[in-house]
Copies of this chain bind each other. A is one copy, B any other.
Amino acid sequence: MYPLRLLDRSHFEKLVGIPEAIEGVEQAYRLFSRGEAGVFPVIVHQFEPGRREMDLKAGHLAGAGVFGMKMLGWCAENPARNLPPLAGLIIVMDVDRQQPLGILDGTPVTFLRTGAAGAIGARTFARKDSRTALIVGAGNQGRAQLLGLSFAMPQLETILVADILESQSARFVEEQQALYPRFKLQAVPFSGLSRATEESDLIITCTRSREFFLKKEWVSPGTHINAIGADMPGKQELEPALVASAKVFADSATQVVAKGECQHAAKLGLVPAERITEIGTVLEGMKPGRLSAEEITLFDATGMAIQDLMVAAMALNRAEKKGIGTVVHF
């Protein structure tokens, strides 16, 4: 018998916020570059493409003494049924004893660690004088990205928000403006994306698109792009020529070529793997990041199990100290 701690959304939200998530995800990226963490091949299964999909990410973090996995399911019809579209679980296990330590609701961890990934990408690669950011995709991930930016890029002034459903971006701005009084939030029409793009120093794409909507000609020199949405075969947000013209960074080079934004440019032979630099190597000072104010930089993030595991392990650690969560004996 061993104790197994369960953390639901409300438990998790009491334990880890965006600053801690950023710290954890940065640590995961660094350990990965140092060879002290690894990810296993991601398993993706599309029961009905664009309607019912699952993915399973697993990995290990020698540095933190944990390993485990996250399994998420996504169903497009769920909101109409009054159910969350995305649901799943994270299991954290202990390397030494090879036993489960805890189980967490996978969605709040995913929300926070993806917001953290965007924040780290922006902080590492965007120009320090960035003033205007554009978020394309006014859904939950748009919220996570804004939360990340608010912590990592306080110098921003204007946040433009676009969504293919204009009611979504309007609602997003109305709801989120109150949370971030420091920023000026503004909904922009999806049809006017070219102008919004030109004005932006930082662009974050976080949609479920399967066709690119961001064209190379719209993006000004010096822009940094966080490509967050494409994380499965078939998903796409950027014109391949834009990817090819940018200096490309990734969470995992293997993953982004297989199923991130880079999958398309790679298939066309436009982005050879040796042109993709992993963010951990930049954070560790092993490789350079942005070299000039004119470069277009791109951070392609597909999400790695070690991000989830690091954030989940932090939460479990704190939960144990504070006596938070439901403990069952297995």
Contacts and interface: CB of A to CB of B under 8 A. Distances in A.
Interface string A58-99: 101000000111010111001001011001110101111111
A326 interface: yes
A233 interface: no
A40 B40 contact: no
A17 interface: no
A71 B40 CA distance: 13
Interface in A1-18: 2, 6, 8-9
A324 to B, nearest CB: 14
Majority secondary structure, A binding face: strand
A40 B103 CA distance: 22
B87 A98 contact: yes
A52 interface: yes
A47, A69, A78, A98: residue with the most chain B Cβ atoms closer than 10 Å:
A98
A124 to B, nearest CB: 29
A173 B147 CA distance: 63
Given A8-B328, A41-B43, A91 B71 contact: yes
A54 interface: yes
Interface in A244-277: none
A54 B81 contact: no
Given A8-B328, A45-B60, A73 B89 contact: no
A48 to B, nearest CB: 10
A52 B330 CA distance: 20
A178 to B, nearest CB: 25
Given A45-B60, A71-B69, A54 B98 contact: yes
B71 A97 contact: no
A95 B329 contact: no
A268 to B, nearest CB: 27
A105 interface: yes
B88 A93 contact: yes
Nearest to A52: B98
Contact of A105 (B73, B88, B330): B330
A139 interface: no
27 contacts: A8-B328, A40-B43, A43-B58, A47-B60, A47-B67, A53-B98, A54-B67, A54-B98, A56-B69, A68-B71, A69-B69, A71-B91, A71-B100, A73-B94, A73-B98, A74-B98, A75-B96, A78-B97, A78-B98, A88-B93, A88-B99, A88-B100, A89-B91, A89-B103, A89-B330, A103-B103, A105-B330
Interface of A: 2, 6, 8-9, 40-41, 43, 45, 47, 52-54, 56, 58, 60, 67-69, 71, 73-75, 78, 81, 83-84, 87-89, 91, 93-100, 103, 105, 326, 328-330
Closest 10 CB pairs of A and B: A73-B98, A75-B98, A87-B99, A40-B43, A105-B330, A8-B330, A89-B100, A56-B58, A73-B93, A89-B91
Given A8-B328, A47-B67, 6 more contacts: A47-B60, A53-B98, A54-B98, A71-B93, A73-B93, A73-B98
